Amino acid sequence: MKTLRQNDHGFVQRQLRRLALSEDLNFLLTNRVPRLALTRFMGWFSGIRQPLVRDASMAVWKAFTDLDLSDAKQQRFDSLHDCFTRELREGARPIDPNPAVLVSPCDAIVGASGRIGEDAQAQVFQAKGFPYALTDLLGDSPRSQAAIDTLRGGQFVTLRLTSAMYHRFHAPEALRLEHVTHFSGDTWNVNPIALKRVERLFCRNERAALFTRLADGTPLVLVPVAAILVASLRLRALPQALNTRYRGPDELPCDAAYARGQEMGHFEHGSTVIVLAPPGFALAAGAVPGEPIRMGRPLLLRAQA
């Protein structure tokens, strides 16, 4: 019996060592490379409209992911980029009509979530033991500071898009986009391994803060964060792409109204959307950390008055 327990313990230890080695290798391959150069190359390569290049690229992509195009509006694409930014067929993502909830703005895996700190920095977490301040994420402009003041004690949710997912994001409720602040930055991978190892990762990467207001006046901030191989964000309210080549201006006034579930923009590949809500919201029962969620499903629940 003792020998059996020793063998079991040895097996577990070997599995843990293999897992650690796998994580180290993943981190090395995706983050110890010239990230910006590789990202710009991928942006160029994915746009090549040549059938052989497209077919070979998509074959490799499908071999390493669970890519499912059954709900796509079209089944044939001119380039890899067109597949990345695909639209969905009508009705593929039913929007929850309950006025007491904010729906998920995108297909994603639910990541870190919880209460926003009530301290001066309004601290939140990217992973267990890895905090960051909203002042670092949203900047120190008067607009950002005013938004942070309303968010303290509220709720944050991190939504991670994998490479095979639908890459467009939508309004979680009827709202008005009032301002966009662009932050030029790096292109770290945003997978769980990197989030456990790179401090303040979201505050380092290319991103945009979308300052919005719901119909009842409630402020809501969405922060799409770019990553390696993507680093390009397109908003329907702006004519230009926000990416590593964008050189400003970084303060972009907007005045665009969106209905609940209406498309607001898309990533060129996949990354993260951070949702920041003021006090009065809690994570909806179906939004479980570590589990997938689809656009249009309940994400945040309003507190009952």
Q: Which residues contact 257 (CB under 8 A, 6 or more apart)?
A: 174, 175, 176, 177
266 is catalytic: no
30: closest CA among 80, 2, 64? 64
107 is catalytic: yes
271 is catalytic: yes
173: closest CA among 79, 119, 95? 95
3-state secondary structure of 155: strand
**Residue 172 burial (10 A CB sphere; 0-12, 13-18, 19+):** buried
* DSSP-assigned beta bridge partners for residue 110: 159
The active-site residue, picked from 113, 144, 167, 170, is 170
- In this structure, are strands 298-302 and 281-283 parallel, antiparallel, or unpaired? antiparallel
The active-site residue, picked from 57, 79, 113, 271, is 271
The answer to whether the beta carbons of residues 61 and 80 sit under 8 Å apart is yes
The active-site residue, picked from 46, 79, 107, 179, is 107
Give the catalytic positions in this structure: 107, 170, 271
